[in-house]
């Protein structure tokens, strides 16, 4: 008994100490966070106190201006015409939302304590990875009207405090009225009435129980349950809602069975859209900036395709939420868009493509074009055209930023050649022109294929696919594509990590805005500025929200400058020479043509401007004589000639201090190999003295790099980073060696060094 008493005493003391510790901890946390809590509470009290019923129905008009303060467009949504008072909202809709979203809505004071504890527990055990969920209807309303969509613990606290204040001021029925009218039902529909008209072409009062439940499935995740693209998902959630309504006693078992067996026959009403390329692009830039302010994390690298699809759904949901804010929040948007440049670009596209007047069933021209112009000094989009103009009320897609097309060879400078120059290659580097048809089935093993040797600059000028394919494999798709991902190419996906991407054979493709900005990065010596036309974004109170983004170095200045010099050769004597550029102002660019002449591109730069042009059909098909050097280059030359006619800058910027580069082929340094022999002397089939000298010069450079690697301590984190960089540099050099024997010898040296075996 004495032992048991002692154990009980020890246990009691332990519990008491632990309780005291928890009390001290709780007290400390209370004192630490109390000022922050009071601040959040005061904000919530003030925001809700200043609100009234109009706060939840208010539609303040926004304005978009060009660079000369001319009004481009007004932004607004006519929510009032579809707004329903509580008494007019179908009872089934009210019950459906309560059943699926917040069963205790009628009892709680704005928050669900049990749900909060569950979220807190999940937050702790996942190390902060999971920090969402358990929001009541009132909390969701607070978030959509008063707060951002940022997923943080701070926002959750603000959300709860605001919900409590809403519950104090408004009745339960008023809250439901506000919530159902503000809910987003995908495809720019806000409120149950707008959704009923959009998807069924009827009033919500005319819908059946099954149809109401079907619509109420959408707001939980509008992109995922979009009835126009994922009808099966919406149907499955409809069934879940009906079951919840039955569990809550809102419908009978007979009603449940009949509603679940009822087929959903959509009768979508045509969506009203706008036909103004400046407005759509400026709106997109502003929406994306609001997403950033709301804490949305933009991503450009994905582990697998499912990861990309999940991201896309989250992106679309946040995009539409912020789009509503923009259209109803009274924002004033000022842009860099220039009326004269816009007219020049539109008129040129219309004129060059005027030979083809074929139209589709919707009355829109079949043959289309898109283009974007970026000022290299301000780094802003100054003109953007998403298609041919025509006298029609039908909305035309803004292809300049919405249509992703295969870029063909115009992609090579950004994803193949400049990365190679960044990794140590030069304009004089000799590349094997391998057989692409054979390489297509070989994967990265194509790097070992033989081929006639060609200088890198000549491969670019002539747009030789075999050289680009080999070089892309040599760099590795992951390494090469990392450059364009850092330039925010939005649809480079895991399925693009294959050699065909070297030739622009991408899963989804790119846009003219992305391509123009990529080439602008070259003109700016490797410095990347995110593409936008925003210069100012002010809220309804006149507060400036917009701030410029810091540039990021994508390519080294030397690599970018050398690429620009090579691209000048494309216009002077390469695939774009037929364009006949004869102005004093320097120009550089690259053509691009996809298989079967389905897409034609020209992307080019001058010191002041970067411009990309795409020509093709919305539904890809062959167009005779469509090449990058024909219609796209013609549009580019006409517009660019006018843009630079009074330009004071005639030459591209050069790096302040050019990095040390490898010796060019045929230099005096290389003459020590086989001295006295003629460069053209053939040593073996397809292999000359010149090739021998070039190979051994490159091998010497690789040896120098490997010598530097030997002096590093691989147990040191800093040295290891340097070692890895030098390893990649040595490997890149070795891959340039044409002689299989010499390449194998150098590769063996490198692998021995990797394994710790010193020469």
Q: What is the pLDDT of residues 395-421, one digit of tens each?
A: 568 999 999 999 999 999 999 999 999
Per residue, what are the HEC states of 682-719? Answer: EEECCEEHHHHHHHHHHHHHHHHHHHHHHCCCCCCHHH
Q: How confident is the model at residue 144 (pLDDT cuts 50, 70, 90)?
A: confident
Name the more confident of 17 and 580. Answer: 580
602 part of a folded domain: yes
What's the rounded mean pLDDT across residues 747-754? Answer: 87
Q: Are 119 and 205 in the same domain?
A: yes
Q: Are 286 and 381 in the same domain?
A: yes
Distance CA(183)–CA(218), nearest Å, equals 9
What's the rounded mean pLDDT across residues 657-669? Answer: 43
Q: Are 691 and 549 in the same domain?
A: no
Last residue of a domain, one of 194, 227, 261: 261
Distance CA(29)–CA(26), nearest Å, equals 5
With 0-12 / 13-18 / 19 or more C-beta atoms within 10 angstroms meaning exposed / middle / buried, residue 357 is exposed
Q: Are 541 and 640 in the same domain?
A: yes
117 part of a folded domain: yes
Count the domains in the chain. 3
- In the block, which residue shows the tokens 């008023």? 174
- Do the Cβ atoms of 456 and 431 come closer than 8 Å? yes
Distance CA(178)–CA(361), nearest Å, equals 41
Name the more confident of 171 and 3. Answer: 171
pLDDT value at position 723? 84
Q: Is the pLDDT of residue 134 over 50?
A: yes
Q: What is the pLDDT of residues 340-393, one digit of tens each?
A: 999 999 999 999 999 999 998 888 999 999 999 999 999 999 999 999 998 765
Tell me the residue ranges of DSSP E strands in 339-418: 367-375, 380-385
First and final C-alpha spacing in the chain: 77
Q: Are 257 and 382 in the same domain?
A: no
Q: Are 66 and 88 in the same domain?
A: no
The token pair at 752 is 């021995």
Q: Is the pLDDT of residue 234 over 90?
A: yes
Q: How confident is the model at residue 245 (pLDDT cuts 50, 70, 90)?
A: very high
Q: Is 443 left (phi over 0), alpha (psi -120 to 50) or beta?
A: left
User: How many residues make up the chain in this entry?
Assistant: 759
**Helical H segments across 585-716, by residue range:** 631-643, 689-710
What's the rounded mean pLDDT across residues 45-61? Answer: 81
pLDDT value at position 132? 47
743 part of a folded domain: yes
**590 pairs with which residues across the strands?**
603
What's the rounded mean pLDDT across residues 52-59? Answer: 77
Last residue of a domain, one of 655, 680, 700: 655
18 part of a folded domain: no
Question: Any idea which of 14-18, 156-160, 300-304, 481-485 has the lowest mean pLDDT?
Answer: 14-18
Q: What is the CATH number of the domain that holds 78?
A: 1.10.3810.10
Name the more confident of 373 and 441. Answer: 373
Q: At what angle do helices 339-352 and 631-643 cross, to 10 degrees?
A: 150
Q: How confident is the model at residue 145 (pLDDT cuts 50, 70, 90)?
A: confident
What residues contact 371, with CB distance under 8 A and at least 6 apart?
A: 345, 349, 383, 384, 385, 400, 512, 611, 612, 613, 614, 635, 636, 639
What residues contact 468, with CB distance under 8 A and at least 6 apart?
A: 409, 412, 416, 417, 459, 502, 503
460 part of a folded domain: no
Q: Are 389 and 298 in the same domain?
A: yes
Residue 155 CB neighbour total at 10 angstroms = 19
pLDDT value at position 25? 58
Q: Are 66 and 81 in the same domain?
A: no
Q: What backbone torsions phi and psi does residue 386 show, to the nearest 5 degrees?
A: -105, 10
Q: What percent of the chain has pLDDT over 70?
A: 87
732 part of a folded domain: yes
Rounded to the nearest 10 degrees, how much is the dihedral formed by the CA atoms of 157, 161, 166, 168? Answer: 150
Q: Are 586 and 685 in the same domain?
A: no
Q: How confident is the model at residue 662 (pLDDT cuts 50, 70, 90)?
A: very low
Q: Is 128 left (phi over 0), alpha (psi -120 to 50) or beta?
A: left
- In the block, which residue shows the tokens 């940022």? 150
pLDDT value at position 351? 97
Residue 520, CA atoms < 13 Å, CB-side half-sphere: 30
Q: Is the pLDDT of residue 669 over 60?
A: no
- In the block, which residue shows the tokens 């999971």? 130
What's the rounded mean pLDDT across residues 120-146? Answer: 68
576 part of a folded domain: yes
15 part of a folded domain: no
What's the rounded mean pLDDT across residues 563-584? Answer: 95
Convert 379-411 to b/e letters by CB count within 10 Å (16 or more is b): bbbbbbbbbbeeeeeebbbbbbbebbbbbbbbb
What's the rounded mean pLDDT across residues 254-274? Answer: 86
Distance CA(445)–CA(135), nearest Å, equals 53
Q: What is the CATH number of the domain that holds 298?
A: 3.40.710.10
Name the more confident of 56 and 628. Answer: 628
What's the rounded mean pLDDT across residues 185-207? Answer: 92
User: At 431, is the secondary structure helix, strand, or coil?
Assistant: strand
What's the rounded mean pLDDT across residues 200-228? Answer: 94
- Do the Cβ atoms of 130 and 122 come closer than 8 Å? yes
Q: Are 231 and 309 in the same domain?
A: no
- Do the Cβ atoms of 585 and 644 come closer than 8 Å? yes
Residue 99 is part of which domain span? 53-59+73-261
Q: Is the pLDDT of residue 287 over 80?
A: yes
- In the block, which residue shows the tokens 């309504």? 245
Angle at 508 between CA 503 and CA 509, to 5 degrees: 45
Q: How confident is the model at residue 691 (pLDDT cuts 50, 70, 90)?
A: confident
Distance CA(625)–CA(102), nearest Å, equals 61
Q: Are 518 and 629 in the same domain?
A: yes
DSSP label at 46?
H
Distance CA(746)–CA(701), nearest Å, equals 11
- Do the Cβ atoms of 89 and 176 come closer than 8 Å? yes
DSSP label at 226?
-
Q: Is the pLDDT of residue 591 over 50?
A: yes
Q: What is the mean pLDDT of the chain?
A: 87
Q: Are 606 and 690 in the same domain?
A: no
Last residue of a domain, one of 626, 655, 684: 655
Q: Is the pLDDT of residue 756 over 80?
A: no
């Amino acid at each position: 008994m004495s032992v048991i008493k002692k154990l009980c005493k020890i246990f009691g003391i332990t519990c008491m100490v632990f309780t005291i510790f928890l009390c001290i901890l709780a007290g400390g946390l209370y004192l630490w966070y109390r000022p922050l809590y009071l601040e959040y509470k005061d904000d919530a009290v003030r925001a809700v106190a200043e609100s009234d019923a109009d706060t939840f129905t208010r539609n303040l008009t926004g304005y978009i201006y060009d660079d000369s303060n001319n009004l481009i467009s007004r932004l607004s949504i006519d929510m009032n015409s579809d707004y329903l008072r509580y008494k007019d909202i179908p009872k089934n809709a009210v019950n459906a939302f309560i059943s699926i979203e917040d069963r205790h809505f009628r009892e709680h004071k704005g928050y669900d304590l049990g749900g909060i504890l569950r979220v807190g527990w999940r937050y702790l055990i996942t190390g902060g990875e999971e920090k969402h969920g358990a929001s009541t209807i009132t909390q969701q309303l607070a978030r959509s009207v008063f707060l951002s969509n940022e997923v943080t613990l701070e926002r959750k606290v603000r959300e709860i405090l605001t919900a409590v204040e809403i519950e104090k001021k408004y009745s339960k029925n008023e809250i439901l009225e506000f919530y159902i009218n503000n809910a987003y039902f995908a495809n720019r529909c806000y409120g149950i009435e707008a959704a009923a008209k959009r998807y069924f072409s009827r009033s919500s009062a005319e819908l059946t129980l099954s149809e109401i439940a079907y619509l109420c499935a959408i707001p939980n995740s509008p992109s995922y349950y979009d009835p126009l693209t994922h009808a099966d998902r919406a149907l499955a959630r409809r069934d879940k809602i009906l079951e919840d309504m039955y569990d809550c006693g809102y419908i009978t078992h007979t009603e449940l069975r009949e509603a679940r067996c009822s087929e959903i026959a959509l009768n979508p009403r045509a969506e009203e859209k706008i036909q103004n390329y400046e407005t759509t692009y400026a709106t997109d830039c502003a929406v994306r900036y609001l997403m950033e302010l709301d804490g949305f994390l933009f991503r450009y690298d994905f582990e697998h395709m499912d990861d990309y699809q999940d991201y896309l759904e989250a992106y679309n949901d946040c995009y539409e939420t912020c789009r509503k804010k923009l259209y109803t929040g009274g924002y004033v948007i000022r842009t860099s868009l220039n009326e004269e440049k816009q007219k020049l670009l539109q008129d040129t596209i219309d004129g060059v493509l005027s030979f083809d007047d074929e139209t589709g069933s919707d009355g829109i021209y079949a043959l289309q074009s898109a283009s974007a112009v970026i000022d290299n000094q301000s780094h802003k989009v100054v003109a953007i055209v998403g298609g041919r103009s025509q006298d029609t009320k039908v909305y035309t897609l803004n292809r300049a930023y919405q249509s992703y097309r295969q870029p063909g060879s115009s992609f090579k400078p950004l994803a193949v050649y400049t990365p190679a120059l960044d990794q140590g290659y030069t304009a004089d580097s000799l590349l094997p022109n391998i057989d692409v048809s054979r390489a297509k089935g070989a994967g990265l093993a194509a790097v070992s294929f033989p081929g006639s040797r060609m200088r890198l600059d000549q491969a670019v000028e002539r747009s030789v696919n075999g050289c680009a394919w080999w070089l892309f494999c040599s760099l590795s798709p992951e390494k090469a594509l990392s450059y364009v991902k850092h330039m925010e190419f939005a649809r480079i996906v895991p399925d693009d990590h294959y050699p065909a991407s070297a030739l622009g054979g991408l899963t989804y493709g790119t846009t003219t805005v992305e391509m123009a900005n990529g080439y602008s990065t070259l003109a700016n010596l490797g410095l990347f500025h995110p593409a936008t036309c925003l210069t100012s974004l002010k809220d309804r109170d006149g507060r400036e929200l917009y701030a410029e983004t810091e540039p990021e170095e994508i390519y080294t200045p030397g690599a970018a400058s050398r690429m620009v010099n090579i691209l000048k050769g494309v216009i002077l004597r390469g695939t774009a020479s037929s364009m006949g550029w004869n102005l004093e102002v320097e120009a550089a660019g690259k053509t691009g043509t996809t298989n079967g002449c389905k897409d034609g591109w020209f992307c080019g730069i001058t010191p002041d401007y970067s411009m990309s042009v795409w020509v093709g059909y919305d539904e890809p098909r062959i167009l005779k004589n469509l090449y990058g050097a024909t219609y796209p280059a013609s549009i580019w030359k006409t517009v660019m000639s006018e843009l630079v006619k009074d330009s004071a800058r005639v030459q591209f910027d050069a790096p302040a201090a050019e990095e040390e580069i490898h010796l060019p082929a045929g230099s005096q340094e290389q003459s020590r190999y086989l001295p006295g022999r003629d460069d053209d002397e053939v040593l073996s089939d397809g292999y000359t003295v010149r090739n021998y000298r070039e190979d051994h010069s490159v091998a010497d450079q690789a040896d120098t790099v490997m010598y530097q690697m030997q002096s590093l301590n691989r147990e040191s984190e800093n040295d290891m980073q340097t070692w890895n960089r030098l390893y990649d540099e040595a490997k890149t050099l070795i891959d340039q060696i044409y002689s299989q024997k010499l390449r194998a010898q150098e590769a063996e040296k490198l692998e021995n060094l990797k394994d710790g075996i010193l020469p």
